[in-house]
Structure 1
């Protein structure tokens, strides 16, 4: 890594099925992690007893914090964006948040291991918008397939690659 600030892993934890895997990847990569979600969740259940909780207690660069946000649409998203720096990595199922993350020079990955790209995010947003229009008109769209062990393995492999990638100067 160069002289840039180290990256941080942010986890959009609202209904996130891979929070534990994301924290394991941050531990192994030696980077800080922030779990963001609304106050109705017990986000600390994902943290090990021996995990450092403050930067001054970090082990090999890893420590973990919980960011409790108010209940409300997009509260966690905006809390993450507010704290996000270039080169950080965000785990999210939300294409809108992924788009904002990419616009900030950071990386975004879905819980199924799809790494969002600047080249394709506009099309993904368009598809989401069109599907929403169909549903508002009373139509039906296909929902996501059931989350599988293969999705979990793909997520872990792709997140590990993202966290190990060298930080490029902006």
Structure 2
């Protein structure tokens, strides 16, 4: 069965992902830094383990230690082929694709094995520019169209 993992560090679509998972009967693991209140995303009546699942849906919270990429590694080590990860991190998306799982960005972009290497290269080059004191263009403001695209594309991945 597919499990939906949410890289909850600064994720603007956690509630949307949970809503889709509840409707589709998909288990969810919300992973994030232990300094966050990850429980705020979970409804009081949400089942918390497979033994109490409702139509296949249950939600678990995975609080990881503070540190760069802690949530990424915690997610990656639990992944099974066919799982889906919600993330804005291209590095995590690359690891996810390498494990035979799917990755979707918070703006609804489904990451692709054919283009992930180029995306990693672009990220690397932009980081070099910033380290040298240069500036790179940041993302546009998160919009309602992004949220709608995310929900639509997540539904598509779960079909």
- TM-score grouping bracket, smaller chain normalisation: over 0.9
Q: Does 1:65 align with 2:60?
A: yes
Q: Give runs of aligned pairs for residues 1-20 of structure 1, distance below 5 A.
A: 6-20=1-15
**CA displacement at 1:28 relative to structure 2:** 1.1
Structure 1 residue aligned with 2:79: 84
> Mind listing any 5+ residue stretches in structure 2 that lack a counterpart?
none
Q: TM-score, structure 2 length as denominator?
A: 0.99
Q: Which runs of structure 2 are paired with 1:64-143 in the superposition (5 Å)?
A: 64-143=59-138
* 1:24-53 CA-partner distances (Å, limit 9, x unpaired): 111111110000001110001011111000
TM-score (ref. length: structure 1) = 0.93
For 1:18-29, what aligned pairs fall within 5 Å after superposition?
A: 18-29=13-24
Unaligned 5+ runs, structure 1: 1-5, 165-170
What root-mean-square deviation, in Å, do the aligned CA atoms of Structure 1 and Structure 2 show? 0.5
Give the Cα separation in 2 of the matches to 1:163 and 1:76: 23
Moved over 6 A (4+): none
